[in-house]
Structure formats: structure tokens, C-alpha cells
Amino acid sequence: MDKKDIKILQAIAEEGINSPEKIEECTDIPKSTVHYRLNQLREQGIIKNDICDMDLSELGLSITVISEVYAEFGEGYHETVGEELAEVEGVNQVYFTMGDTDFIVIANVTDRAMAESLVSDYESIDKIDRTSSRFVITRVKNESHPINDFGADTLADALIEE
């Protein structure tokens, strides 16, 4: 794993691509080299399949933190606060939920120190009252394609107009 690998992985992630040709266009690494590197990354278990799911712990992101973040109520606050949370390094998902003015934030970090600085980053955002965080021991399920969570029949019933 070196900087060339990271450039390739980030091109895949940022541009939503997975083919040697397109990765060459983004990174200027020759497609045959890209091909060679992708095979290595697959053997190492860092990328998984054709759509290039990546293994978080193989990437060094072994800790997942889920936080409830409570903010003051105020006109338009939730938009700016949400955006600021989303920009904190390591933050993966941000949900603004019903009821009180609060957010659920999921982040991936490399180590305990980064987890702590993450939470203090949350708390230093303007309008944020308090946070409550828990560490994930096991990610039992994390499906990137929600359509997979449904039987074909249920989904068809909900979707198909006939």
C-alpha cells in the first residue's frame, strides 16, 4: 500500500468509476499499471468486487463511532450544522432526525486518539449543545444496496404500478 494505491482507490471512490481506462484518465497512471495494482489490492482483500467495495479495517479505519449530536433549535440551523458535521474528517453518514433538533453521525477513524478529536470537533461547532457517542464493536450488517434488503415480491408490490 503506497501513495499510488491511494490515488487509485480515491479515484474509484470520488469519481464513481472502477475501470482501468477511466482510472488512467483521472490519475495519469497507465492502465496496465492500474490493472496490476487492482489485482494486488484484490488479493490483499482491500477491494472486494466489481463495484469495488472497500474493507474498512484493511484500510486502517478500524474504529466506527456513532454519535447523537444535539443542537439548539433555530431557523435554518440544521442545514448549516449538518453540513459542518459532514465536513469533519472521517464522518461518513449524517442524518437529521425528527423530534428535537438532533443528528445521528457515523464516522470511521484510525485510532482512539482520532475518535476523541472527532468528538471534540463536533462539540466545537457553533450551535451544538452536547453529544453522546458510542463505539461499534461489530458491524453486523452494512448493505450498500438497500434494494437487497427486500424480497423481490415486496419490492415489486411497492414499486410497480399495474
19 in contact with DNA (CB under 7 A): yes
78 in contact with DNA (CB under 7 A): no
Of a second copy, DNA, none, which one sits near residue 70, judging by CB under 5 to 8 A according to partner kind? none
Q: Which residues does 150 contact at the CB level (< 8 Å), separation at least 6? A: none
Q: How far is the CB of 148 from DNA (least distance, A)?
A: 20
Q: How far is the CB of 111 from a second copy (least distance, A)?
A: 8
Q: How far is the CB of 39 from DNA (least distance, A)?
A: 7
Rounded Cα gap, residues 8 and 121, in angstroms: 29
Interface with DNA in residues 26-45 (CB under 7 A):
29-33, 35-38, 40
Q: Which residues does 40 contact at the CB level (< 8 Å), separation at least 6? A: 5
29 in contact with a second copy (CB under 8 A): no
Of 42 and 134, CB closest to DNA: 42
Question: Which of 102, 107, 127, 101 is CA-nearest to residue 119?
Answer: 107
Of 39 and 93, CB closest to DNA: 39
Specify the long-range contacts of residues 10-13, CB closer than 8 Å, at least 24 apart: 12/47, 12/52, 13/54
